Amino acid sequence: MKSPAWQLTVHVLGGLAFLALPYIFAPNGLSQLFHLTSNPHELTSFASYLFMLGFFYLNYYYLIPALYFPKKYVRYALSIGAAFGIIFLLIASIDRTAIGSEIYRGRFEEHGHPAPPSNAEARPHDFPPPSHQMITNNKPPMGFELSHALFLFLVGVFVSLALRINHRLRQTESEKLNTELSFLKAQINPHFLFNTLNSIYSLAIEQSPHTADAVVKLSSLMRYVMREAATDWVALEHELGYISNYVALQKLRLGDTVELDFGIEGKPNGYKIAPLILISFIENAFKYGVNPQEKSLIQLRISVKEGVLRLHTFNKKVRVFYDEEASSGIGVKNTKARLELLYPDNYELKIGDSVDSFTVDLQLRMA
């Protein structure tokens, strides 16, 4: 998520770019901005862009959330119409003031007098009517200015609507994925936890020297899910430690029934990663690749090199019957959606699903 300072900077630069846009391609370029007071038409045009920019933010931050999203369409339309009317009246007022001021100045200059300051006591009727045709002739007709203002206004309406609706859709999708992630964190597969506790209980009955180590690993696993994984990003080192503890507990639970090839290569180097973004693929390897009645083979390889994390999983399909929870694939679907949201254009996922094996190859570019 971008910081407030970054968002403010983007808005300020975007607003300045919008105001300067008409002058970038003008004959005199941006220098025309310094002569607005001497050109009534340019002053009116600049005021149009300024008012439309203000309306854009009014519509984006207030009218759309308060009226459009709650489906108060009539009130929203009336508010839009009222806003346009007010803006057009303001523009017309500025236009009349600017033209009048220029005519007033022209009358003095035509008679060889310097233009008086704004608080001068002289009035336009002190001199004969000047030949100010150039001022009025250079001014576009009212119909043009009305259509120009209406065009800018409609652009502001539709652009702010499009951006706000897109923002809401992304926010809704993000909230949905975060809800699913919270559900995934809360679960940590109750079957795995129950079986692991049974395994630890068996070790305790046998007075195995591995009992204490198993309890420590399980507590670390639960502490990570409940505390650290509640944040948006975690240190890669901690995520890999969580995976190592998970695999160690699975090995403890399954014993010699599984041939496990597990390894991590490379150094985390301070990288950050979305929490629990890998665990679904690893969990699936144990879920679909283990059968206590036959020898199972699972390969789990993780490497980190030059900011790219690579995950490879392989398991033989030894189970014939799956329960509804196991076969639903909610965890993998959740992970795919999170990858698309959190790592757009920064990941590559290949899943191989054959008759007797299942493979996952993931490349993830980290920040």
pLDDT of 163-190, one tens digit each? 999 999 988 888 887 787 667 656 655 6
The answer to whether the CB of 342 falls within 8 A of the CB of 299 is no
pLDDT digits (tens, 9 = 90+) for 203-212: 788 787 888 8
The 10s digit of each residue's pLDDT in 267-283 is 888 899 988 889 889 98
Q: Is the pTM of this model over 0.75?
A: no
Tens of pLDDT, residues 260-270 = 999 999 988 88
SS3 assignment for the chain: CCCHHHHHHHHHHHHHHHHHHHHHCCCCHHHHHHHHHHCHHHHHHHHHHHHHHHHHHHHHHHHHHHHHCCCCHHHHHHHHHHHHHHHHHHHHHHHHHHHHHHHHHHHHHHCCCCCCCCCCCCCHHHCCCCCCHHHHHHCCCHHHHHHHHHHHHHHHHHHHHHHHHHHHHHHHHHHHHHHHHHHHHHHCCHHHHHHHHHHHHHHHHCCCCCHHHHHHHHHHHHHHHHCHHHCCCEEHHHHHHHHHHHHHHHHHHHHHHEEEEEEEECCCCCCEECCCCCHHHHHHHHHHHCCCCCCEEEEEEEEEECCEEEEEEEEECCCCCCCHHHHCCHHHHHHHHHHHHHCCCCEEEEEEECCCEEEEEEEEECC
Share above pLDDT 70 across residues of the chain, in percent, rounded to a whole number: 72
Report, as an integer, the average pLDDT of 148-157: 84
Model pLDDT for residues 120-145, shown as the tens digit of each residue: 444 544 444 444 444 444 555 556 66
Is the pLDDT higher at 100 or at 260? Answer: 260
Name the nearest CA neighbour of 265 among 213, 314, 306. 306
Q: Residue 348's closest CA among 363, 359, 335?
A: 363
**CA–CA gap between residue 225 and residue 128 (Å, rounded):** 86
Bridge partner list, 365: 308
188-365 maps to CATH 3.50.50.60 = no
Determine contact, residues 40/139, Cβ cutoff 8 Å: yes
CA atoms within 13 A on the CB side of 262: 17
For the chain, domain boundaries? 4-173, 188-365
Burial class (CB in 10 A: 0-12, 13-18, 19+), 307: exposed
Average pLDDT, the chain: 78
φ, ψ (nearest 5 deg) of residue 127: -130, 160
Rounded to an integer, what distance in angstroms lies between the CA atom of residue 233 and that of residue 245? 19
Q: Which amino acid belongs to residue 148?
A: H
Residue 366 has pLDDT above 70, yes or no: yes
